[in-house]
Amino acid sequence: MNALALSAIYALIAIGISLFFGVIGIVNLAHGEIATLGVFVSLAVFQLLLGGGAVDITTVSFSVAAANLAALAAGIAGAAVGGLFFYRLAFYPLRDAPPIIGLLCSVGVGFIIRESILNFYPDGRNPQPFPAIIPPDLIQIGGVIIQYKHIVVIGVAVLTMLLLAYCVERTKFGRAMRSVLNDREVARSLGVSVIAVTVAVFALGSAVAGLAGVMNALYYNIVQSDMGTLLTVKGFTAAVIGGLGNFYGALLGALLVGFIEALTSGFLPSGSAYKDIAVFGVLIAILVVRPNGLIGRPISERV
Amino acid sequence: MRHWKTIGFSVVASAAILGWSFNALLVNAQERVVKVAYVGPLTGPNTAMGIGTRNSMELAIREANTKKILPFKLELVSETDDSKPSTGVAAVQKLCNDPDVVATSAHWNSPVALATIPYFKECHLLNLVSGASVDALTQGGVEEMGRVSTPFGYLLPHLAESLVNRLKIKTIAIVKSRDAFGDAGTTGFVPEFEKRGGKVVAIEDYNVGDRDYTAILTKIRQLNPDAVYLSGLTTEAALVVRQMRQLGMQMPFVGHAGWQTSTFIEAAGPAGQGAIVVTSLPFLNELPDGEGYAKRYAAAGFREPHEAYGPFGYAAGQVMVELMKRYGADRKAIVSGLRKLKDVETIFGKGSFDERGELQPKYVDMAILKDKDWVQLPK
């Protein structure tokens, strides 16, 4: 269950990274920081509404439950707004620049977000408690431990992915997005507003990153201003394993990363210390055999 | 004519001599300034500890200046090591190159302190450690290294003794960070624990920065040890104890002063209640000058609390003042004077430095987290 929960969080990050690459053509290494931004917005709203107290969502009144949901929603909205802000500020002016410039720019954006959070939370690099609103109970079936937080995180992630899949496959926006993903010029000639699609994808991807951040915070109940770096690395790895630019690839990659981590930690002596080596070892092996990821399409340079 | 020339020459010469004397007097009146330095985590994950220690050292320096103990004014300069060896090395190199700096108390993190030893040695600058607790710091025969805080060598046998004989813990699982700090906390503990009849059922490593410990805790859960010992720092300790309790593991969570912080209390929340650590920090009410120090610290107007290691920063400042009083403000004289320093009065009472440069006697005790405070474990 833990592996699935980890995979769920990584998948939510990987989807954004993958879509940004596919649709907009940028590798956004600030994606984890966008998630962190969402987490801290959410934490601020929690502190504003509930005085920061850890409140179990099941044992409290409707008004507190509403405040909890408002705080979580604020985190997601905060990430979306933050993502759009940095898109307009940094990525949009560089839309015709070579991809490496966009990549460097995203590193800068990551720094800016990390350091900006410290203006509001000067102690943000130290662990900050995040309200534990999911009851700590657990169910044990055979040797498998299922905690409520597993159910919440996995449930929310699956629901989000189903919605996203529906959006990508069945809606007008999804068709427009796929057409931009396949060929930007052809999409433009067919009357698709590439810029509108780009902005919508950035907002959507950032909101999903915010959701991932909030889920991560609810899962561990401890947040730090520099937690985004790890999220980016894991999400990016998942996206690359699955195939950059591919929605389902990101899911598959995230599942693999989550399971490799949990299995290495669980079954090797002192495995926790070697789980990153295992993940990146698999990444390298997959890229050697399938350079475009498991279900990625060949990447050709636009000329 | 010649007469007038002689008078003129005498007047000019007298004026020059007077001017020179006046100038010399003026320089004396302006007071010579000598610098001592603190290097520690003033930024990064252990900022609270660094700032508390630095402020306490500053307090000792201010008091020495007010009492005019030394014939010059002391000034504290501080540099951050960001808890990173590379930043620490850069900071120490900078201090080495400043001839006004005559003594230093550096590093809260052991890996950083280990990395800077050669630089202190090279520039003959004293590093009177006030935090880092790896024994090796004063075991390499480097004259420039000394310590006022308590190293693992003293903490870990006490932890093993208290666990086995006071708390009746016979089996233990160790969760440790994969670095010099985590290693030291383990290698110093295991033989002591086993010698007293305890059994280590598992040793699990993690990388600093890991967030998920479910897999290793699930493994440990099946072994059902009497306690889980965390050899690492605050963030990971808070995450591990939270995840332990969430997995229904109710056995005692034990460790050492590396995570005996106020941040742990906040970050671990209710899960941290009852955590037990061996502490090098004497409870202030048990120290000869503990309560006086707390009062003076509060009155000094520092914004941040003195934190667990504050008294060591204070003691480091006191020892430096005493060294300069006895041996002068000279790097080499201070270094060679350290091991000769006997009967020095610090916040810990009267103490002496041994041949390793360790201030003796060392204080060791056990603490338990109760409500919002680390309190003495009832004897």
Tens of pLDDT along A100-125?
A: 888 899 999 999 999 999 888 887 88
Which amino acid, B59?
Answer: L
At residue A269, the pLDDT reads 79
Whose CA is closest to B320, among B331, B310, B309, B311? B331
Average pLDDT taken over every residue of chain B: 90
* Residue A51's pLDDT band (cuts 50, 70, 90): low
pTM above 0.90, yes or no: no
Q: How far apart are CA A222 and CA A242, in angstroms?
A: 29
CB contacts < 8 A, A to B, total: 95
At residue A303, the pLDDT reads 44
Q: Does A285 map to a domain?
A: no
Asked which of A147-156, A239-248, B23-32 is least confident by mean pLDDT, the reply is B23-32
Residues of A at the B interface, defined by Cβ within 8 angstroms: 2, 6, 54, 123, 125-129, 132, 136, 138, 145, 147, 149, 216, 220-222, 224, 227, 230, 261-263, 265-266, 269-273, 276
Most confident of A299-303, B121-125, B262-266: B121-125
Looking at per-residue pLDDT, the higher value among A297 and A195 belongs to A195
What string of DSSP letters covers B109-122?
SHHHHHHHHHHHHH
Residues with Cβ within 8 Å of A168's Cβ and at least 6 positions away in sequence, in order, are A174, A177, A178, A247
Q: Does A91 map to a domain?
A: yes
Q: Does A284 map to a domain?
A: no
Q: Does A300 map to a domain?
A: no
Residue owning tokens 């929960």? A5
The one-character DSSP state at A24 is I
* Residue A297's pLDDT band (cuts 50, 70, 90): low
CB atoms within 10 A of CB B278: 27
Q: How far apart are CA A130 and CA A127, in angstroms?
A: 9
Provide, as residue numbers in chain B, all residues whose Cβ is less than 8 Å from the Cβ of A32: none
CA dist list (Å): A256 to A20, A38, A152, B16, B356: 21, 26, 20, 86, 52
Q: Is B204 helix (H, G, I), strand (E, B) or coil?
A: strand
Number of domains present in the structure of chain A: 1
At residue B184, the pLDDT reads 86
Q: How far is B52 from chain A (nearest CA, A)?
A: 14
* Residue A76's pLDDT band (cuts 50, 70, 90): very high
Q: How far is B223 from chain A (nearest CA, A)?
A: 13
Residue owning tokens 């003129």? B8
Per-residue pLDDT of B178-188, as tens digits, reads: 888 898 889 98
Q: Does A240 map to a domain?
A: no
Q: Does A297 map to a domain?
A: no
Q: Does A254 map to a domain?
A: no
The answer on pLDDT for A64 being more than 60 is yes
The partner residue sitting opposite A272, judged by closest CB among B47, B204, B246, is B204
At residue B4, the pLDDT reads 60
At residue A181, the pLDDT reads 80
* Residue A180's pLDDT band (cuts 50, 70, 90): confident
* Residue A302's pLDDT band (cuts 50, 70, 90): very low
The answer on pLDDT for B227 being more than 60 is yes
Whose CA is closest to B57, among B258, B270, B309, B265? B309
Cross-chain residue pair A224–B48, CB shorter than 8 Å: no
Burial class of residue B37 in the structure, from the number of CB atoms within 10 Å of its CB (0-12 exposed, 13-18 middle, 19+ buried): buried
Looking at per-residue pLDDT, the higher value among B114 and A262 belongs to B114
Which amino acid, B134?
Answer: V
Provide, as residue numbers in chain A, all residues whose Cβ is less than 8 Å from the Cβ of B207: 272-273, 276
At residue B208, the pLDDT reads 84
User: Would you state the structure tokens that stand for residue B322, as one six-digit string?
Assistant: 């005493």
Q: Does A146 map to a domain?
A: yes
Provide, as residue numbers in chain A, all residues whose Cβ is less than 8 Å from the Cβ of B234: 126-127
What is the domain range of residue A214? Answer: 2-225
Residue owning tokens 């338990």? B368
Q: Alpha-carbon dihedral of residues B261, B264, B269, B270, nearest 10 degrees?
A: -70
